[in-house]
Structure 1
Amino acid sequence: MTFQGAYTALVTPFKNGEIDQDAYRELIEWQIEQGIDGLVPCGTTGEAATMTHEEQGEVIRICVEQAKGRVPVIAGAGSNNTKEAVNLTLLAKEAGADAALQITPYYNKPTPAGLLAHFKALSKEASMPFILYNVPGRTGLNAMPETIAMIANEVSDVIGVKEATGNLSQVSDVIEQCPEDFSVFSGDDFTVLPLLSLGGCGVISVVSNIAPKMMADMCAAFKAGEIKKAQELHFKMQPLNRVMFVETNPIPVKTALGMMGKLETSFRLPLVPLMPESEATLKATLSKCNLV
């Protein structure tokens, strides 16, 4: 399977502290109707860090079940504990996910040799396609291009990376040094278009939770050589990209979906609702972009 285009890092709707299955299924259906290329449950945006393993398996299963094979599902299954990452990956595999998003172990700050050993163990115990997730702002560890290339060359299951450094020079080095068929996704909505121009394959996006058609259309326009259209969509989304990070993700995007009537705005601690001034800024931006 080829992974490319716009993938949504799905939020997880909650109601009375529990997973809101109905709202989640409706959100997935709307995403597919809007033309999204793929779905990513149980990532950072999905608040996977607050879920039990049982809940994570349930969320992935619901996503796969609702997608019905219409779009690929890349399930978040990473951990800073290799054994736990293996168990989560087995859950994703059992649920029918097409690939697993594997964050680099956070807090531990492993060496390049440790990262390689982590992915080798994952491949040995729970083999399936892996997308390495490099997000130093969350993990405290930046997997450098030469490290990613080493892992890609030595662990065949590692078929791509979600690059969330925001550093286009580093992204360029990753694309240059990794195998030709290695998929490089943007992990920052601000950098999707420039990453595509370097040879990236798409994005795992926060903003596509609220604007799936725009993000999918931008990726499709670039692929079709319609550069002017892609640029127009890029700049049209920039106000949304900025406001989605007015506070910690996924607080703004979940609040936006609540304003749009897609779900109940509910978080699990330690995340809390937007500050009033941020909420006003968000509402004004959504209104300007004709989303509310």
Structure 2
Amino acid sequence: MKELIGTGVALVTPFTVENEVDVAGLRRVVQFQIDNGIDYLVLLGTTAESVTLTKEEKQLVIDTVVSENAGRLPMVLGIGGNNTQAVIDEMNSRDLSDFTAILSVSPMYNKPTQEGIYQHFAAIAAESPKPIILYNVPGRTASNIQPETVARLSRDFDAIVAIKEAAGDIVQAMRMISQTPDDFMVISGDDMITLPMILAGGSGVISVIGEGFPEMFSEMVRLGLKGEVTQAYKLHYRIAPAIDYIFAEGNPAGIKSVLEARGICGNSVRLPLVAASKELQGKIRDFVTQNT
């Protein structure tokens, strides 16, 4: 799975002012990543507002990205949820031939125990035709995958090859790195601590900010993976204010404002999300002007 070392980006789903999927905007987003050093693309994750997309819209997103990418970058597809059998059914019903791996979020709302989380992913791993990246984001799921559970899953299932770790806890990430096999990838899901995680032995990032500043963020990740700490931290501190901005009023409202400021796509989001405030949009535009 070396193709998933480095910078992946969680693609947004651009919308038109009529609230339809903006296919042309999505194509520009994809091309922008390819042109500016991103290593792989992640479709239909949290940042894609996938919970508000219909089955038909999800397929449209997949078809658009596959077509625009044209095999140039590896791709990961988000397939997850809190109904284990429904996740398995979706996984088995989709054409996954264009994808390197599946990103599957820990069940939300149900608040399973660690054993329940283990059994959920065990059932998925037994059926999956592709390698699986676990996705731990307790701020959204209301449950945390503990390092011991990650280690157990990494040892017991060859199909489970990585975790996107987005708890924002560097100590927990270090425990995952130390307790899992050497070929298991701990991937940052938190932009602000991506560099420390890489320097602790992590394999890269699935990023939000990287979508808006792919040239700067992917270079930071490359420097970190090469151990060029001083230069990497210079880029980290340069981009850090923008990381605060894009999450100040929620994701993906912030990153869509960045993409709008860069002329890539509009900033529309779907309810119950709302677009970034005028004040925040102004801060983002100023940062873009000063740093691009």
How far apart, in 2, do the equivalents of 1:261 and 1:70 lie? 23
Identity of aligned residues (%): 39
**1:170: which partner in 2?**
172
Structural mapping, 1:48-127, within 5 Å:
48-90=50-92, 93-94=95-96, 96-127=98-129
**1:226: which partner in 2?**
228
**1:39: which partner in 2?**
41
**Could you list the per-position Cα deviations for residues 95-134 of structure 1 after superposition, in whole angstroms to 9, with x for gaps in the alignment?**
6211111000000011122112211221233331111000
Does residue 25 (structure 1) correspond to residue 27 (structure 2)? The answer is: yes
Task: Give the conservation status (yes or no) of the 8 Å contact 1:93–1:128.
Answer: no
Q: Which runs of 5+ in 1 are unaligned?
A: none
Q: Which runs of 5+ in 2 are unaligned?
A: none
**Could you list the per-position Cα deviations for residues 167-193 of structure 1 after superposition, in whole angstroms to 9, with x for gaps in the alignment?**
111001000111110011111110011
- Runs of 4+ in structure 1 deviating by more than 6 angstroms, as ranges, are none
Cα RMSD after superposing both structures: 1.5
Does residue 243 (structure 1) correspond to residue 245 (structure 2)? The answer is: yes
How far apart, in 1, do the equivalents of 2:230 and 2:222 lie? 12
How far apart, in 2, do the equivalents of 1:133 and 1:284 lie? 33
How far apart, in 1, do the equivalents of 2:129 and 2:234 lie? 41
Pick aligned residue for 1:185 from 184, 187, 194:
187
Paired residue type of 2:39: D
Q: Which of 260-269 and 242-251 deviates more?
A: 260-269
Task: Give the conservation status (yes or no) of the 8 Å contact 2:101–2:130.
Answer: yes
Does residue 4 (structure 1) correspond to residue 33 (structure 2)? The answer is: no
TM-superposed deviation, 1:93: 4.4
TM-superposed deviation, 1:91: 5.0
Paired residue type of 1:206: V
Aligned to 2:41, the other structure's residue is in SS state strand
Q: Give TM-score scaled by structure 1 length.
A: 0.94
**1:155: which partner in 2?**
157
Task: Give the conservation status (yes or no) of the 8 Å contact 1:243–1:285.
Answer: no
Task: Give the conservation status (yes or no) of the 8 Å contact 1:221–1:229.
Answer: yes
**Could you list the per-position Cα deviations for residues 113-162 of structure 1 after superposition, in whole angstroms to 9, with x for gaps in the alignment?**
21122112212333311110000000000100001111111222110001
TM-superposed deviation, 1:21: 1.3
From the superposition, tell whether residues 199 and 92 of structure 1 become closer, same or farther in structure 2 (CA, over 3 Å): farther
Does residue 14 (structure 1) correspond to residue 1 (structure 2)? The answer is: no
Q: Which of 161-170 and 9-18 deviates more?
A: 9-18
How far apart, in 1, do the equivalents of 2:257 and 2:166 lie? 23
Pick aligned residue for 1:198 from 185, 197, 200:
200
How far apart, in 2, do the equivalents of 1:10 and 1:264 lie? 14
**1:284: which partner in 2?**
286
